[in-house]
Structure 1
Amino acid sequence: MTVSSRDLPSLGLEPPGLLRLSPLLRGLQDQAPVCRVRTPAGDEGWLVTRHAELRELLHDERVGHSHPDPENAPRYVRSPFLDLMITDTDAEAGRRTHAEIRRLLTPMFSARRVREMEPQVAAVVETVLDRFVAQGPPADLHGGVSVPVALTVLCDIIGIPPHSREQLTEMLARMALLGDRESVEHGRDELFAFVEGMVERKRAEPGADILTRLSDGGLPEERVAPLAVGLLFAGLDSVVTFLDHGVMLLAEYPEQRAAALADPGAMTHAVEEILRSAKAGGSILPRYASEDVEIGGVTMRAGDLVLFDFSLPNFDERAFTEPERFDITRTPNLHLTFAHGMWHCIGAPLARIELRTVYTRLFTRLPGLRLERPAGELQLRDGQLSGGLTELPVTW
């Protein structure tokens, strides 16, 4: 049965429900592995709903950032930030550029380098927790722990000095706005100028950071700032969201929290289960088919918008037993939160260390920590690309 363009299911801009899959997304997943939908921007696209199909497409080089007419390409949302990802280079050139960037940046997140960063991450977490605990309950864990930990670790590895970080967060927030194109474009220009200034300083005073590596990595000048901005935006928002949501889950399941705190191996599994289940849909990144692609009983035509939701397939009953049940003993746990294959997040090892360290130290120092309000009463950010919490009130 075909669905007319007029009757397509519409994805909304409202933030997803906390820790629970929306009826719309569950219905689409039950309906088909790849569904034709209408995006919040009003365009048509293909939403990949199931685990096997998303995993397959993450290995398919015919789906990427290239589009023959970026200005008129179908959009997920109207966002100058996401527009930066669309390139008019041919698909093969786009794949070569993507591979080159990964070769350039992957050594910054190698297993050895990330292990060497563990004491630095631990020191950041302890400093942040000292301030948080000293102010006493009740307190906002989002603003008091999640944001400063994620921001400090990310800026340290990218090479943003402490005195510039408050300005950076303000510019990133403006870039994430939806529905105010003029303001976002002004914020984008301001942020690019900020990053370009940082790169110039790194050329004069290099360090062991990503901006230094980008400045002398042989990339075209016009590629450096967009790439750095993408790393900053994705790295900050995703870690903050998983820190917040993971604390909510561990607070809700005290027996599983106790098991994780008693055994570092169990905490490692707990982090993976949090990564799988903490965002129930809505982690969408747009891609484009460069050729016709047949998958899941449909044909995506060249130029079509393809929506990769990196959280929805983690709730696929074909891949996970009782996917809406939080279970830190779940094994295997082949979630796609960090994507897969050539799109796998290079910062995943560092993010895992941040999550593990915060959860362990927070609940060790504050064993009685609990949410001050039920999860259903917490507010999610609206009108922005990211749908994270505005605050996370806790007490102990």
Structure 2
Amino acid sequence: MPFTPQEPPESRELPELSTEAQPILCPSRLEGLREDAPVCRVRTPAGDEAWLVTRHAEAKRLMNDERVDRYHPDPPAAPKYIKNPLVDMLIGDDLEDTRTGRARSRSLLTPNFTARRMERLRPKVEALAGAMVEDLAARERPVDLHAHFSLPFSLRVICELIGVPEDDWQRCATLLARIGRTDPKDGTSTGPEALFALLGEVATRKRQEPDEDVLSHLCGAGVPDEHAGMLAGGVLFAGLESVATHIDLGVVLLSTNPDQRDAVIKDPAVLGGVVEEVLRSAKRAGATLPRYANEDIEIDDVTIRAGDLVLLDFGLANFDERAFDAPEAFDVGRSPNRHLTFGHGMWHCTGAPLARMELSTAFSVLFSRLPELRPAVPVDELWTQGGTMIGALAELPVTW
């Protein structure tokens, strides 16, 4: 494959991306880039150059373009978004193997996340959420919603779905937090090997005592224990903090839009619209996992060269006024709501049905039990954690 090395990072001044702490729900400083051009040259937190895709139509187009993938002819030399061992593992050095491996992983995981299966799980998840909100309600206010509901709820649901024993839940959460860190000073993070090994050991036991969970399904499909552990680890990483963060930010959005919140309380049929609008508008910016051009691509008067890093910013795309009427407004009745939070096409998130079910359950249970649930501090004092891939809240003090 043709490959043109980048110029040295010091060669030109470019807008810089960051993983530093940010105020929640506030316009991103990158939104000006979206108005300037749909595809912009930027510098990543790792110090490399990349193409940032800022608009909805162009992001959607590139997600349908097979010339963009997680392949690079020389992964160690590939430009990086962040320096993170898990992200580095996603980059393949053989294009056909990369495509085949992604398709195989999707075929193995998709049956575990069908909408029908999620509906079968819903009563159990609702019971869990109900018990957890009662525990929350009994605590002295203000109470940290993130620590006492959002994160443990998300952790328990996804661990049970995957088949992780309860004794290992907290260890998984600790390992995932370390994997997801990226120190803004040196860009380092803990590798995922310990998590993969833990889940591989669980897979070994599942072969002797299978159940209705992801690891049992993978073992039954002939996936080796080590690979099953890697696939399950990827699901955990993608589904834990991201769901917890959207629960937190959804509570903030609904509490600061009381007319929208009251509509949900009065009419549960509105809940689906709530989930989609929270997914669309909870994050204003944030580049997704890196992809690379495997051929030269002409798009909107720029040429993305083979080997270039491509970053699709779904947060920026979800506020693109070319795709959404009044994107600044939080509107639970928005229809259609074609947000890109779960990606699109061959890059659509396999776990989307699970995330939707978790979010709808969480919002329904929280606001039916605590209709006045709201942050206990001014919203402008709430910031995301710096130095993390997800950009989650460290805590969310609430009252009611």
Shift of the 181–46 alpha-carbon distance from structure 1 to 2, 3 Å rule, reads: closer
> In the alignment, does 2:125 pair up with 1:140?
no
In the alignment, which residue of structure 2 is the partner of 1:87? 92
CA distance in 2, matches of 1:148, 1:9: 37
Q: Say if 1:78 and 1:178, in contact at 8 Å, map to a contact too.
A: yes
Q: Say if 2:203 and 2:225, in contact at 8 Å, map to a contact too.
A: no
Shift of the 222–198 alpha-carbon distance from structure 1 to 2, 3 Å rule, reads: closer
> In the alignment, does 2:306 pair up with 1:302?
yes
> In the alignment, does 2:200 pair up with 1:234?
no
In the alignment, which residue of structure 2 is the partner of 1:52? 57
Question: Residues 184-234 of structure 1: CA distance to partner in whole angstroms, max 9, x if unpaired?
Answer: 13xx23222212111111122111111122233344665433322211111
Where do residues 1-396 of structure 1 align in structure 2 (5 Å cutoff)?
Answer: 5-23=11-29, 25-90=30-95, 92-179=96-183, 184-185=190-191, 188-219=192-223, 223-396=227-400
Q: Say if 2:68 and 2:294, in contact at 8 Å, map to a contact too.
A: yes
Shift of the 219–64 alpha-carbon distance from structure 1 to 2, 3 Å rule, reads: farther
The alignment partner of 2:51 has SS state of: strand
TM-score (norm 2): 0.93
Question: Residues 129-159 of structure 1: CA distance to partner in whole angstroms, max 9, x if unpaired?
Answer: 1211122321111111101110111001111
Shift of the 263–283 alpha-carbon distance from structure 1 to 2, 3 Å rule, reads: farther
Shift of the 53–14 alpha-carbon distance from structure 1 to 2, 3 Å rule, reads: same
Q: Say if 1:273 and 1:330, in contact at 8 Å, map to a contact too.
A: yes
CA distance in 2, matches of 1:181, 1:205: 41
In percent, how many aligned pairs have the same letter? 51
TM-score (norm 1): 0.94
Shift of the 8–182 alpha-carbon distance from structure 1 to 2, 3 Å rule, reads: closer
The number of residues matched between the two structures is: 389
CA RMSD of aligned residues (A): 1.7
Shift of 1:161: 1.0
Shift of the 144–76 alpha-carbon distance from structure 1 to 2, 3 Å rule, reads: same
Q: Say if 1:16 and 1:282, in contact at 8 Å, map to a contact too.
A: no
Q: Say if 1:17 and 1:280, in contact at 8 Å, map to a contact too.
A: no
CA distance in 2, matches of 1:130, 1:390: 22
AA of the residue aligned to 1:375:
V
Structure 2 residues not aligned, in runs of 5+: 1-9
The alignment partner of 1:18 has SS state of: coil
CA distance in 1, matches of 2:106, 2:144: 36
Shift of 1:86: 0.8
AA of the residue aligned to 2:390:
S
AA of the residue aligned to 1:273:
E
Q: Say if 1:109 and 1:347, in contact at 8 Å, map to a contact too.
A: yes
Shift of 1:16: 3.6
CA distance in 2, matches of 1:17, 1:34: 25
AA of the residue aligned to 2:135:
R
Shift of the 313–269 alpha-carbon distance from structure 1 to 2, 3 Å rule, reads: same
Q: Say if 1:80 and 1:181, in contact at 8 Å, map to a contact too.
A: no
